[in-house]
Amino acid sequence: MLIARPIESAPREPARSRLLLALCAAALALPALACGPDFPVTLLDARPQTLLELSEGVFAFEVARLLPQPQPGLQAQDADGWNPPGEVRATAEAQGLDGASIEKIVAMRASDSVATAQAVGAGLSPELLDYTAGAVAWNQQAFDPAHAYFRAVIALPAAERPLRGVWASYMDARSLVLNGDVAGADAAFARTREWVIAGAADPLGLGVASFGEQARERLNRGDAVGAIRLYAQQAAYGSRSGSNSLLFVARKAFVDAAMRERLLADALGRQLLVAYLFARS
């Protein structure tokens, strides 16, 4: 019967020990290849070949530089993949509010109708009451009433909509997209960014997200050139959503000949396709 030897016990095979020592000594005598934490050893081991080959780029890094440094005042707030969107929104909604107001908003969100939501939200400030009522209507796909509530918030003086002004402006723009009012939506998205830059609260990063919403509308209408300009502005703020959207457009362009030709005819479109190829060797 075999009995396992405790690991602390010393080996009883001197011949094997001598062999292991010899192998270790031989390994130490081999020439070492210089390397670093961010590049492979071949960069120094095969320098002529390395210099003759084009290094592979990183797509997100390249497309973040397609357009100049963005205007300060806007910040991207991409989803991190860990927190559910509802929780992220609820956390942002609670900022700057007391406990009683938070409880009312939570109750409004859980209401089965807009009328019920308004009743349980009684006593909230007009911006909070109207915006949340609009959100309840929107989630119930009552888009026209929702739009009216968002417009009511926008109509308030700036001092009376510090927390939901940007949110209402963003949803106003989305409502106009649904109604097919492209020019109106563009103006509303631009206003959203202007309000954020002016200092309005934007815990969800809607100012930067507005570029992506505008771009999606362009893409849905077949305007790939217009879409990539907006996605590139979004990516310039460090938005993963913007860079991922540019990746999807580039991929589609390589299987859609008509789209590819439109992008190749545009300077920024050519830069995007070059960045895609550079990142894919």
pLDDT digits (tens, 9 = 90+) for 221-243: 999 999 999 999 999 999 999 99
pLDDT at 147: 98
Q: Does residue 25 carry a pLDDT above 90? A: no
Element (H, E) at 246: helix 240-253
Mean pLDDT of 134-141: 97
CA 2, chain centre distance (Å): 60
Look at residue 202 and give its three-state secondary structure: coil
Mean pLDDT of 118-142: 97
Q: Does residue 180 carry a pLDDT above 50? A: yes
Q: Would you place residue 57 in the very low, low, confident or very high pLDDT band (cuts 50, 70, 90)?
A: low
Range scoring the smallest mean pLDDT among 5-19, 62-76, 144-158, 236-250: 5-19
- Asked whether the beta carbons of 230 and 212 are under 8 A apart, the reply is yes
